[in-house]
Structure 1
């Protein structure tokens, strides 16, 4: 957050020697966190905050998942690292568990260390399997920061890395608020793209529910039809579930909301509840069979890292044992009601979207015209806009909420209670006075 304050010794040391991400370094002001518990965390000055965005939409288990922490310690003692040619009980069982909780015939996983690496693996697997070179993705998307994944990202932060990898093609999004196309018309556009590209597209890559570019929920028929369109043109469907996976939507995965099984799925974030860096790329039986006699020319030193896999297995078991996917659905309904209350009370709330505990509050400076406070280019500029100021005001009230471009992103841990939702939305209620006052 951007509050003016004096940095302590740790914060000054960090600012001097550690790069801040996606930032002009002159503007970076790190805040030292010293403790956390449940859905709350505490800074070095003793200020406590409700984590209403799960940090970067990844702390699905909150900050007290003792079973995961114990599994990490146990595996680190048994053996912190072995080369990928060896296995451990945790890695084998996690692979089997993912085959169980993912939809359809998704069955075999490549483990990496992050969401961006999971997407890199998905791109390469799709190209190897189809023998084609192009990937169609969408403009309002984020798939990671490494060269392949930033190339298929539509988010304007990709621009500094361009031209990127060959064959990355962008399509419009199902976004009624900010597009000239009706959400379903954007499918017609993608279908025409695939026709005009000929038989050269390996895959269509989408977030089932767009995350950091606005929590964009497509119509119910969108994803099933997109899969049909891709297959009709000889392309695979890749679903990026890095943010929407592991109960976030009130279902195990975002694609479950639409009853769709992709050909390839990527995961990270909630896979370990952010207790360890772990990414995963899971494929269908048919794609897995292809690599029995065709080399998978891909790998990492830390592929299937034992400690990370132990965290992943313990995390998935925690989701199951504590009924957290069901709780996300139930608390998600309550959260949706409270956000509706905010929209009714504040004219600067132009749109609300989301499912489960994955919600977006989009702001407007003009209730009639829905003119945004924040623009895409703000991701590349110095300074702050009104949406940043709203997030800062909520932070001052003890609630951390992430914001991207023009949208507040509400994605708390799946363990959250109604009382904690009330406390955090009350802080947002106060903070939204800032954007109400800034309207035209």
Structure 2
């Protein structure tokens, strides 16, 4: 990072002033929004208009899987825009058709037919509607430590406290416990038996169980190996579908194509976005099994968007998947992901405020604590919808001052860098985190 004063302490640029005045900051009290103008990026680094540069240790919002120099994706988008930027969804385009074929190739098992949208939340909305139409049932069981999106259906199935500001949500949503070994009173596998009993007590009214195979922004929660296979069996035993939300865990983030691959499970419906285009274009997708696809041959698929299968976005998605394949990026992510995990464990040994490190591949979390024996968190769930800053925010700010951007959610630092990151980049970022964690160490006695 530059030695210059950070952008928070200097006069705003014209762009920052305009943005502050005319654009809503997301998930924020607007009085606390102070946007920073970004002027460029390359590889795993980005820089602002004040001369500061950061290692992107969270892949922006855990989505820049290809980093900031994927020229093949940018070129594919530009070529498609010149050939034809938009056609109505009723027309076929080469980019959309080939991307559908490619997703059937790289997704688990026999998942085969896709609806394309523009975001992860839209992908989840489609999954909810498909499950309800296919089963003829209404209820969706999801979990408390989850995030599935911001639109009304997706925020309703979200457990994250940000849903509270949007309630009442859509009817028929039920929350279940999570596989959270560090911070829950319930063992991860016990939580499965709870879900089994929930489905039994709800009778034959549940259309689907919706989960992130590895929970993302609510703590990077990796379940036991047997959790997801057992959950699929429980859902099917009660004639419910299993929906896996792979918006954050997909496209190499875990060192496998998808989080479901880590557990050798094929869901009935899978949602994806973020890494689908490497964040080069807004693109979401909802893919289903042949059985579900066949149902809609003679039943109306009653869903759609103006920009469903947008040609430029689909060109980005196709080029992104080809880049993952041709450049061995997912294999690289697995290798450096193991290295990242080892380095974070070293941090945990040096800092008493690190209560837990967990994750897989380049999908890692550092949970902070006031008391490692009692597992007392610095932050609480309410912090997500409250004003002010927390100790965890202060740690992220200290990392930013040192030249490392790291997102945090509630009580966890989320480490999800571009999959192209190198071991030397990781070493540089971990050295900065080592210094930043002194902030939380010092705050343990507050």
What do the CA deviations read for 1:100-149 (whole angstroms, capped 9, x no partner)? Answer: 00010100000000000000000000000000000000000000000000
Residues 222-233 of structure 1: pairs in structure 2 closer than 5 A: 222-233=227-238
SS class of match (1:423) = helix
8 Å Cα contact 2:183-2:375 kept in structure 1? no
In structure 2, the residue matched to 1:50 is 55
SS class of match (1:365) = strand
Tell me how far apart the structure 1 counterparts of residues 26 and 237 of structure 2 sit (CA, whole Å): 40
Residue correspondences, number: 440
TM-score of the pair, normalised by structure 1 = 0.99
In structure 1, the residue matched to 2:335 is 330
The answer as to 2:250 corresponding to 1:245 is yes
The answer as to 2:340 corresponding to 1:341 is no
Tell me how far apart the structure 1 counterparts of residues 157 and 108 of structure 2 sit (CA, whole Å): 24
In structure 2, the residue matched to 1:61 is 66
In structure 2, the residue matched to 1:37 is 42
For residue 6 of structure 1, report the CA deviation from its aligned partner. 2.7
Residues 159-174 of structure 1: pairs in structure 2 closer than 5 A: 159-174=164-179
8 Å Cα contact 1:38-1:64 kept in structure 2? yes
SS class of match (1:419) = helix
8 Å Cα contact 1:2-1:29 kept in structure 2? no
One of 96, 109, 120 as aligned partner of 1:115: 120
Tell me how far apart the structure 1 counterparts of residues 413 and 8 of structure 2 sit (CA, whole Å): 18
SS class of match (1:312) = helix
Query: Unaligned 5+ residue runs, structure 2?
Result: 1-5
RMSD across aligned positions (CA): 0.9
Tell me how far apart the structure 2 counterparts of residues 256 and 145 of structure 1 sit (CA, whole Å): 26
TM-score of the pair, normalised by structure 2 = 0.98
SS class of match (1:343) = helix
One of 257, 271, 285 as aligned partner of 1:280: 285
Residues 87-236 of structure 1: pairs in structure 2 closer than 5 A: 87-236=92-241
Tell me how far apart the structure 2 counterparts of residues 340 and 166 of structure 1 sit (CA, whole Å): 43
Tell me how far apart the structure 2 counterparts of residues 163 and 45 of structure 1 sit (CA, whole Å): 43
Residues 377-392 of structure 1: pairs in structure 2 closer than 5 A: 377-392=382-397
The answer as to 2:414 corresponding to 1:409 is yes
Residues 6-21 of structure 1: pairs in structure 2 closer than 5 A: 6-21=11-26
Tell me how far apart the structure 2 counterparts of residues 113 and 79 of structure 1 sit (CA, whole Å): 18
One of 289, 296, 309 as aligned partner of 2:294: 289
8 Å Cα contact 2:7-2:50 kept in structure 1? no
The 1:254–1:2 alpha-carbon spacing in structure 2 relative to 1, beyond 3 Å, is farther
Query: Unaligned 5+ residue runs, structure 1?
Result: none
8 Å Cα contact 1:59-1:274 kept in structure 2? yes
For residue 87 of structure 1, report the CA deviation from its aligned partner. 1.3
